[in-house]
Structure 1
Amino acid sequence: PKTQPFATIITKDYPGDDACRLDRPGAFRLNIATRAPAAPEPRDDTVIVHPVYGRQGWVAIVNPGPATAATAVELLCAAHQRASSRRKSPH
């Protein structure tokens, strides 16, 4: 794509980005672009400011599940809407 993604799924640790311990079996992290540069405050134990890209407005949800489903959907919908708006607006 010509622009950055609005969300990603990461399944392994990267150099300098191992705080979420994704090396565990079945562990993954949903990363979502929020309104940069501010990121929402954590709403529960699994919603965090992204360990590397938090300053750019990204948050992360480690192993999303029932406790974070509504938050994930809300953040994904908002991120998708912003990405769609950027794509549609003339440059």
Structure 2
Amino acid sequence: MIDPTPTEILSDLLNRYEGTVAVEAWGETSLFYNPGKLLPRGVYFATIKQKDGANDQASHLDREGVFRLNAGTSKALFRDMFGPPPVRPAKGCAVVGPWDFTKLNTPTPHPVYGWMSWIAVLDPTADTLETLRPAIDAAYEKAVTSFGKRTS
């Protein structure tokens, strides 16, 4: 099986999760839950990032072909995967912990937003994506709940 490309992952997420829209911004493609486009953007739940930004360089996305999938999962699933969320980093810094944010196909806390229970993986294989499916499902469900609160 050939490992999925960023475009294939985005297509799968858009097809799998009803009511989602993709927005190109901040050097990444962001997925928002926004059925009916009731909010200006919607509620953010996953991204594909393909280049480093001024405040997010820990993954070294400047390497050819390297991309990062990110998802804002539930606190419970984050804790199950990595233990307590790390402390919020200073601007331009990464969260502190035992993780190698440059290692391919290895789930980690998001290098900047791990403190908010976001997870990340560089160049995931199909098997890794399947392993992360519950965490991505939880990110979507969290966005659906937040959207409901913001639009009611």
Q: Do the structures match in fold with TM over 0.5?
A: yes
> Who wins on radius of gyration, i.e. which is larger?
2
1:21 to 2:81 alignment: no
CA deviations over 1:41-88 (Å, ceiling 9, x no partner) = 29xx61001111111111101111134121232211111112112222
Deviation at 1:37, TM superposition (A): 8.8
Q: Report if the CA contact (8 A) 2:74-2:135 is conserved.
A: no
Structure number with the higher helix fraction is 2
1:35 to 2:74 alignment: yes
Q: List runs of 5+ in structure 1 lacking aligned partners.
A: none
TM-score (ref. length: structure 1): 0.79
CA deviations over 1:9-60 (Å, ceiling 9, x no partner) = 1000112422211111111000110224983329xx6100111111111110
Q: Report if the CA contact (8 A) 1:10-1:28 is conserved.
A: yes
Name which of 46, 51, 61 aligns with 2:111.
51
| Percent of aligned pairs sharing the same letter | 35
Q: List runs of 5+ in structure 2 lacking aligned partners.
A: 1-40, 84-104
Match of 2:26 in 1: none
